[in-house]
Amino acid sequence: MADTRSGPFKSWFWQPPRPHGETIVGRTVSSLELLYDLVYVAVIGQAAHHLAEHLSVRGTVDFAVVFALIWVAWVNGTLYIEIHGRDDGRTRLIAFAQMGILVLLAVFTAEAGGESGRAFALVYAIYLAVVALLFFTVRRQEADRPEFVGETGLYVVCMSVAVAVVLVSAFVPTDARLVLWAAVGVGWVVGLALAGRARVGLNRGMPPTESLVERFGLFTIIVLGEVVLGVVDGLSSVDRDTKTVVTGLVALWVGLGLWWIYFDLVGRRLPHDTGRAVSTWLLGHLPITLSVAAAGAAMVSLLEHAHDQRAPAGTSWLLAGAVAVCLLAVAVTESTLVDARRLGDVYRPVSLAMGAGAAAALVVAWARPAPLLLALLLVAILSVLWLFAVSRFLRIDEWRRAKAGAD
Q: What is the pLDDT along the chain (407 residues), one digit of tens a residue?
A: 344 445 666 666 677 777 766 777 778 888 999 999 999 999 999 999 999 999 999 999 999 999 999 999 999 999 888 888 788 888 889 999 999 999 999 999 999 988 999 999 999 999 999 999 988 887 666 654 666 676 777 788 889 999 999 999 999 999 999 999 999 999 999 988 888 777 655 666 677 889 899 999 999 999 999 999 999 999 998 888 999 999 999 999 999 999 999 999 999 999 998 888 999 999 999 999 999 999 999 999 999 999 999 999 999 999 999 999 999 999 999 999 999 988 888 899 999 999 999 999 999 999 999 999 999 999 999 999 999 999 988 887 665 555 555 55
* CB atoms inside a 10 Å sphere around CB 175: 10
Give yes or no: residues 251 and 310 share one domain. yes
Rg (CA), the chain: 23
Domain boundary, last residue among 145, 172, 195: 195
Nearest Cα residue to 48 out of 348, 319, 340: 319
Nearest Cα residue to 47 out of 312, 325, 296: 296
Structural domain including 143 reads 29-195
Domain count, the chain: 2
Domain boundary, last residue among 195, 220, 245: 195
Give yes or no: residues 48 and 177 share one domain. yes
Contacts of 129 (CB under 8 A, 6+ apart): 163
Q: What pLDDT does residue 209 have?
A: 86
Q: What pLDDT does residue 11 have?
A: 65
The answer to the question of residue 381 being in a domain is yes
Domain boundary, last residue among 149, 166, 195: 195
C-alpha triplet 330, 335, 336: angle, nearest 5°: 105
The answer to the question of residue 200 being in a domain is no
Instruction: Taking the CA atoms of 79, 84, 88 and 91 in sequence, report the sign of the dihedral they define.
Output: negative
The answer to the question of residue 202 being in a domain is no
CA–CA distance, 404 with 95 (Å, rounded to integer):
53
* CB atoms inside a 10 Å sphere around CB 65: 23
Give yes or no: residues 374 and 228 share one domain. yes
Contacts of 148 (CB under 8 A, 6+ apart): 19, 20, 21, 142, 200, 205
Which amino acid appears at position 249 of this protein? L
Give yes or no: residues 318 and 370 share one domain. yes
Nearest Cα residue to 265 out of 284, 286, 252: 284
Give yes or no: residues 377 and 239 share one domain. yes
The answer to the question of residue 95 being in a domain is yes
Give yes or no: residues 139 and 280 share one domain. no
The answer to the question of residue 287 being in a domain is yes
Give yes or no: residues 137 and 169 share one domain. yes
Give yes or no: residues 140 and 216 share one domain. no
The answer to the question of residue 189 being in a domain is yes
Give yes or no: residues 147 and 214 share one domain. no
The answer to the question of residue 334 being in a domain is yes
Give yes or no: residues 252 and 184 share one domain. no
